[in-house]
Amino acid sequence: VQPPGKLLAAALVAAGLLWAPGCSSRSQERGAAASPKGQFAETEVRDTTVRNVTEAAVEYTIRPIFSSLGTLQRTLAPGAIDRFPGEAAYDIEFTNGVETKLYRLDKGTPHSFRLDNQGLLELYQGAHGREDVPDLAPFVPTPMPVVEKMLEMAEITAADVVYDLGCGDGRIVITAARTYGARGVGIDIVPERIRDSRAGAEEAGVAGRVEFLQEDATAVDVSPATVVALYLLPESNLLLRPKLEAGLKPGTRVVSHNYSIEGWADKLVASETLADEKGTEHTVYLYRR
């Protein structure tokens, strides 16, 4: 007699949708050592993924919509990832101790369970579903007034080398090169972001002064930087802090959009709040290593 899980998988294969998540441990997700430069594949993860970056197990239910398949009950360990076939959209439901949350997950999208500002469980869009590197933040472009303020506060000059960890579309290092003549390096794990960044550098006429690398920001060598730019989640800043402390030269400036770096109060030089074009307020934090 086959175990129930195998019977379920066989039925789902027959239905054209394998309804069986895969999991990864925290050590697999973050990796124990830096991967060699250029070793990340240029392929994109198309599965729908649910990652747990909290310190406690998360219980949730998930079900493919427009399908006769039933609901799957899951318990997701800290640091683990559940992976589902990307051909379907899903309904996912969980409780955060106060209320029950119900969301739809679009096809082939990454998501992460994180704690919100009140310490309650919430599900957020992620950047990728890869298991070998952490998901530091979803792609949310920094408004150009904030980009300009970050570079102004960091007092960028043509002598600087600006690293942007999680560079998105590359606008910070591109602006640093175009406006100040600085050199820049953008790091992002998502192939589309690297393609967009390189195209943006060509359009801005600064391709010779900047480079964009599809690498894990937690493993890249940051020692050449004189300025580091961040627009990551608070726990991602905390994850990167030991790397910045060990790898940056004394005097290196670190400028962070919207989120401070926990444990660096003694390194804070200045903070400033400004409004973007839509009137939304943003805070920029400047640190000196």
Query: What's the pLDDT score for residue 215?
Result: 95
Query: What's the pLDDT score for residue 21?
Result: 59
What does the DSSP 8-state code read for residue 193?
H
Q: Which helix (H) or strand (E) holds 273?
A: strand 268-275
What are the φ and ψ backbone dihedral angles of 222, each rounded to 5 degrees?
-105, 5
pTM for this structure? Answer: 0.80
| pLDDT at position 6 over 50 | no
Nearest residue to 151 via CA among 132, 170, 176, 126: 176
Q: Which helix (H) or strand (E) holds 239?
A: helix 234-247
Bridge partners (DSSP) listed for residue 95: 100
SS3 of the chain: helix, strand, coil, percent, to 5: 25, 30, 45
pLDDT digits (tens, 9 = 90+) for 144-172: 999 999 999 999 999 999 999 999 999 99
Least confident of 9-13, 49-53, 186-190, 196-200: 9-13
- Please report which confidence band the pLDDT of residue 117 belongs to, taking 50, 70 and 90 as the band edges: confident
pLDDT digits (tens, 9 = 90+) for 66-115: 888 889 999 999 999 999 999 899 999 999 989 999 999 999 999 999 99
Query: What's the pLDDT score for residue 19?
Result: 53
Per-residue CA distances from 103 to 95, 100, 106, 159, 211 (Å)? 12, 10, 10, 48, 38
**Residue range 271-283: mean pLDDT, rounded:** 95
pLDDT digits (tens, 9 = 90+) for 43-70: 454 899 999 999 999 999 999 998 888 8
pLDDT digits (tens, 9 = 90+) for 119-151: 999 999 999 999 999 999 999 999 999 999 999
pLDDT digits (tens, 9 = 90+) for 248-265: 999 999 999 999 999 999
